[in-house]
Amino acid sequence: MNDKIQSIKDQFQTQYKRTCNYLKNNTFINYINSNIYKPYLYSFYSKQVHPYYKEYIENKIPPKYIRDFTIASSTLLLYFAGVRLYKRGFKRIHTNNDILENDFKIQRKLKGKAIHVGDSDNFRLLHYPPLLGPYYTLFKNNKLKKKLSEETIHIRLAGIDAPECAHFGQPGQPYGEVVLAWLTKFLSNNHVTVYLLKRDQYNRAVCSVYVRKWWYYFYLKQLNLSEYMLKKGYAVCYEGEGEVYIEGSKERNSKYKEYFKRLEDKAKSAKKGMWAKKSTSESPKDYKRRMKGTTSSSTNNTASA
């Protein structure tokens, strides 16, 4: 038993000597020691630590160990800071699968360009890293080399439900194509800011979306797209499972829900947009429910036949 313990000690001492020799002969470590540790870290340690504790520490732990530990810890600190800076400032998010759950938890802000509008309440975003925004804006060619699903983030507007367009063999709502054409023109190659709020059942990123327009405070303020569509009568306030309206706390979301409902009621009373005619006044929620009932009944009739 004693022989095993002694052999372990010998192995540890041998490995420690190898590590010390490596650190001593390593150019990068010597650079950190001479340019970071001695002028900054050691001087800070000497000034901040009480002389009694400093003497106690140096008596118990050799200064060489303290130096090596300080160099290693400062190197790790610089490494993790660099990784975080790269992820937040230089790394581009290609698809929805690249978005982490923590990004939704902290309601991370993303900036980019609206590349394609697929429906009346969602679009595709080409993400620009914050520290590379000017490069992507001025010099980068925005023509995609891959499919939209492989290069862009699928964004769903938060807090609203717009008229449905025709898809999956089902007819669309009468005002769906009008809203789609308007949203396509409104967002065409526009730079937008989004706040990640949640991931929906279709793996889309539900976001509050902001756009700058010259006629809206001369670019000084950003326009909330969901709010603007409600004012124009192009959407209704979304109410249902997982409803979310704005970035921020739950109290702010509840206030914005009431605010969005008031905007919807004002547009309805003024007969704006989709509320201009009674034939087009069916809400998207009622339309989906009606289409679902029609599909299920036709399936039952086919099965019985």
Which residue numbers are catalytic?
A: 156, 164, 204
Compute how many other C-beta atoms are within 10 angstroms of the C-beta atom of residue 151. Answer: 17
Which structure tokens are listed for 41?
């870290």
Which alpha helices (H) appear in the chain, and where do they start and end? 2-25, 27-32, 43-48, 51-60, 63-85, 101-105, 133-138, 148-151, 176-187, 225-231, 250-269, 284-304
Contact 240, 158 (CB under 8 A): no
Helix segments in 122-205, DSSP class H: 133-138, 148-151, 176-187
Contacts of 287 (CB under 8 A, 6+ apart): 163, 164, 173
3-state secondary structure of 192: strand
- In the Cβ-directed half-sphere of 11, how many Cα atoms lie within 13 Å? 6
The sign of the torsion formed by the CA atoms of 241, 247, 253, 256 equals negative
DSSP reduced 3-state for 103: helix
> What whole-number distance in Å separates Cα of residue 123 and Cα of residue 183?
9
For 212, list phi and psi in degrees, rounded to 5: -100, 130
Q: Among candidates 242, 241, 244, 214, which has minimal Cα distance to 226?
A: 244
What does the DSSP 8-state code read for residue 246?
A: S
Residue type for position 199: R
